[in-house]
Structure 1
C-alpha cells in the first residue's frame, strides 16, 4: 500500500511540475514578445522551448551550481519580474534563483529580493534599433539570420533588413535560398516561417520583409531606397579581409559600420567578452569578430593568464572540415587540403595562436598552434597544452573555470561541462563559444603543466559571438543580469 501511495505522490508531483513549467513558458513568452525582456537559464535559451526542455535545463542548472534549482522557485521569481517596470533586458533566471537561496539570509520576500537585484535597470539608456544587412549568405550568414529573426521580438534591438548576394534574385534562386534557411543538415529546421516574395525580390521571414539585393560591388548599393539607414553591414563572404577592402562598404548609401566574420588586417580583431570594451564604435567604423577558434580559446586563456599565469604553450585544434576543402581528391592551393575532407584527417596551419595576442597582448611569443581538419561537418575541439607560473591541480582549475562560467564578464563565453560522456555531436547548437570539458582536464605531478580540452560549435557558437559584438558596435545592448 505504501508503494502505491509513494507512486501516486510521484505522479502528482510530476503533474504539478509540468503545470508550473507551462506557466514558466507563458511568462517567458509574454515578457519577450510584449516587453523585449529575454530570460535565459544559466545562458541557455528558454524562449520557444517545450516543457521537457525546460525541465531538463533546470536539472542541468542544479547540477552546475550543486544546489536544487526548482521550477517552482523560477516561476515565483518570474512573477516578480513580470510585476516590475523593466526596460528591454536580458536576465538569467538560474542565477537569480541560485542567489535567492544562497544569499537570502534575511528571508527577504521574492518581490523585494528581485527588486533589489534588478534596480540597476532604472539607469538603462534608451535603445535605438539598428538596421542590419548581411553581405553574403553562407554558413555563418544563414545562422546569423536565423538568430536575428528568432530574436527580433518587437524589433527594439537589431533588425535584419536585407541580404546582399551575387546573381539575379529570380523566383528559383529565392526559393533555393529560402530552402537553405528553412532546413539545415546540421542545425535542423528553422523555428519560424520563410516565404518568397518574387515580385519584390525578398524573403518574408516570420512575417517580416528581408530584401535580397543583387550586387557585384559593395559601393554600388543604395540601401536607402529600401528604407535602410545607418546600417551595420555584416560581411560574411570572406572576400574582403583588410581595412581598405572593407572600407568599400562604407561608400554605400545607408551604411555606417562594418563587421567582418573572419580575422581582419588593419582593423580591431575582437573576441566579445575579452577585449570588446577596448574599442568604441565612435572611433572605429570597421571591426572583425576574429575566427571561431580564436573565440573558443581566448576566453579560456584569459582565465588561465589572470589566475595562474601562462609561461608558454601549444594549441592543437581538432577542427571540423570546412567549405574550402575538397569533397574528393582534387587540386588545392594549400598543401594536404586537396585530399577528400570526409575521408581524411588533414594537418593544416592555423593562425589562432598569434590571433589570441591581439586580444591578450601578454601572451605575445608564448604560444604555438596547429590544426587538424577531421571528417565531421561541425563541432571542433581545441587542446591547450600550457605551462603555468603557479602550481595548481585539476580541482583548482575546475573551481576557477566554474567561477568564471557563473559570474563576471565571461559568462556568455564559457560553458562548464559536467558530462563524462561528452562527444562532438553533443555540443552542436551551443551558443557559448567555449565549452570547458571539466572531466578531461589533466595536470602534471608538479602542478605546473596543464592540458585543457575546449569544445566549440565552430558555426553556431561563433555566430552568437558575431551577434554579441554586433550589438555592442550598434549600441543596442540591453540591461543585463547574469
Structure 2
C-alpha cells in the first residue's frame, strides 16, 4: 500500500513537472516571437525544444552549478520576465534561477529580484537591423542560412537578403540549392520551409524571400538593385583571403562591411569573445573569423594564460576529414591517401592562436590527424604552465569562465564521463571542455586538456556572433 502511494505521488509530480515545462516552452516562444527576447539555459538553446529536452537541460544545469535548478523555479522567473517591458535581449534563465536561490539574494519576491537584475536593459540604444549577403553557398554558407533564418525572430538584428553563387541561375540551380539547404548529411533536415521562385531567382525560406545572385567577380555586383544597402557581406568561399582580394567586395554597390569565414591575411583575425573588442566596427571594415580550430582552442588558452600562465606546449588535433582528403594536393601528398584512413596532416594552429593571443607567440607547436568520422573534432592541449595547479583547481577555473564573464558563449563545461564525438553535434559553443578527461602531473605544472568541437556548427555560431558585433546589432544580454 505504501509503495502504491509513493508510486502515485511520483506520477503526480512528473505530471506537474511536464505541465510546468509546457508553460515554460510557451512563454519562451512568446518572448522570442513577440518581443525578440531570446532565453537560454546556461547558454543552451531553449527555443523549439521538446518537453524532455527542457527537463534534461534543467538536470544538466543543476549538475553544472551543483545546486538543484527546478523547472518550477525557472518558470516563476520566466513569468516575471514576461510581465516586464524589455528591449530585444538575450537572457540566461539558468543563471537568474541560480542567483535567485543563492545565499546572497536579499529579495523577498521574484518580481523585485528580476527587475533589479535586468535594470540595465533600458539603458541600451536600439540599433537598426543590418542587411546580410552571403557570398558562397558551401557547407558553412548553408549552416549560416539555417541559423540566420531559424533565429530571425522579429528581424531586429541580421536580415539575410541575398546569396551569391558562381553558377548560372535557372530553375534547376535553385532547386539543387534548395535541396542542399533542406537536407544535410550530418545535421539532418532543416526544420523550416524552402520554396523556389525561378522567375525572380528567389528562395523563399520560412516565408522570407532571399535573392540568388550570379557573379564571377565580387566588384561586379550591384546589390542596390535588390534593395540592399549598407550590407555586411560574409564571404564563405575562402577564395579571397588577403586584404587586397577581400576589398574587392567593398567596391560593389550596397556593401560596407566584409567578414571572411576563414583565416585571413593582413586583416584582423578574430575569435569572438577573446579579442573582438580590440577592433572597433566604426573604424574597421574587413574582418576574418579565422578557423574553427582557432575558435576552439583560443578561449581555453586565454583562460589558462590569464589564470596560470602558459610556458610552452604542444597542440594535437584529431580532426574530421575535409573536402580534399580524397585529392592529392601538390604540397602534401599524404592527404591523397583518402578519407578512409587516419592521416597525419599539417596545421598552423599555433600561429593562428598567436595572432589572436600575441603573448603565446613562439610558445606552442601543433600537428593534426585527420580521421574518418562524419563530424566532431578534438583538440588535445599538452601544456606546461607557470603556476602550479591541480585537477580540481583547473576544473574550477574553467567552470568559472563557462559560468560567467566574456567567454560563457565560447566554453561549454561538460560533465559527461563517457563523451564521444557524436555527443557534441550541434553544440553552439566552439569549445567543449571535457572535465573528466583532464590530466595534471604530480608537480602541478604539466597539464593535458581535451577540447571537443563541432567544427562546422560551433564555428557557424561564432561567425554569427562576430557578425552581430560588426553590424552593431548586439542586444542587451544577461548571462
Partner of 2:391: 394
Counterpart Cα distance in 1 of 2:33 and 2:81: 15
Partner of 1:288: 288
Counterpart Cα distance in 2 of 1:453 and 1:162: 39
Q: Secondary structure at the match of 1:72?
A: helix
Partner of 2:65: 65
Counterpart Cα distance in 2 of 1:297 and 1:366: 14
Aligned positions of 1:68-467 closer than 5 A: 68-326=68-326, 333-341=331-339, 343-467=340-464
Counterpart Cα distance in 2 of 1:413 and 1:106: 31
Moved more, 331-340 or 15-24: 331-340
Counterpart Cα distance in 1 of 2:465 and 2:446: 33
Identify unmatched segments of 5+ residues in structure 1. none
Counterpart Cα distance in 1 of 2:106 and 2:385: 42
Cα displacement (A) at 1:334: 2.3
TM-score, normalization: structure 2? 0.99
**Alignment size in residue pairs:** 479
Q: Secondary structure at the match of 1:248?
A: helix
Q: Secondary structure at the match of 1:381?
A: strand
Deviations 1:67-100 (A, max 9, x none): 1111111111011101111000000000000110
Confirm or deny: 8 A CA contact 1:322 1:377 kept in the other structure: no
Counterpart Cα distance in 1 of 2:477 and 2:240: 34
Q: Secondary structure at the match of 1:463?
A: helix
Q: Secondary structure at the match of 1:336?
A: helix
Q: Secondary structure at the match of 1:337?
A: helix
Cα displacement (A) at 1:333: 4.5
What is the aligned-residue RMSD (CA, Å)?
1.0
Counterpart Cα distance in 2 of 1:358 and 1:90: 30
Cα displacement (A) at 1:335: 2.4
Confirm or deny: 8 A CA contact 2:107 2:113 kept in the other structure: no
Partner of 1:40: 40
Q: Secondary structure at the match of 1:102?
A: coil
Cα displacement (A) at 1:188: 1.2
Cα displacement (A) at 1:344: 0.9
Deviations 1:309-328 (A, max 9, x none): 000000011111111221xx
Q: Secondary structure at the match of 2:281?
A: coil
Deviations 1:116-137 (A, max 9, x none): 1000011011111000000001
1:478 pairs with 2:472? no
Confirm or deny: 8 A CA contact 1:76 1:110 kept in the other structure: yes
Counterpart Cα distance in 1 of 2:247 and 2:106: 57
Counterpart Cα distance in 2 of 1:187 and 1:465: 17
Counterpart Cα distance in 2 of 1:370 and 1:305: 21
Deviations 1:214-246 (A, max 9, x none): 000110001111111100000000100100000
Counterpart Cα distance in 1 of 2:346 and 2:372: 17
Confirm or deny: 8 A CA contact 1:332 1:338 kept in the other structure: no
Deviations 1:309-361 (A, max 9, x none): 000000011111111221xx7565422111111x1111111111011111111
Counterpart Cα distance in 1 of 2:36 and 2:165: 31
Structure 1 runs (4+) deviating above 3 angstroms are: 329-333
Counterpart Cα distance in 1 of 2:106 and 2:31: 29
Identify unmatched segments of 5+ residues in structure 2. none
Cα displacement (A) at 1:284: 1.0
Counterpart Cα distance in 2 of 1:174 and 1:461: 27
Counterpart Cα distance in 2 of 1:169 and 1:26: 41
Confirm or deny: 8 A CA contact 1:274 1:299 kept in the other structure: yes
1:8 pairs with 2:5? no
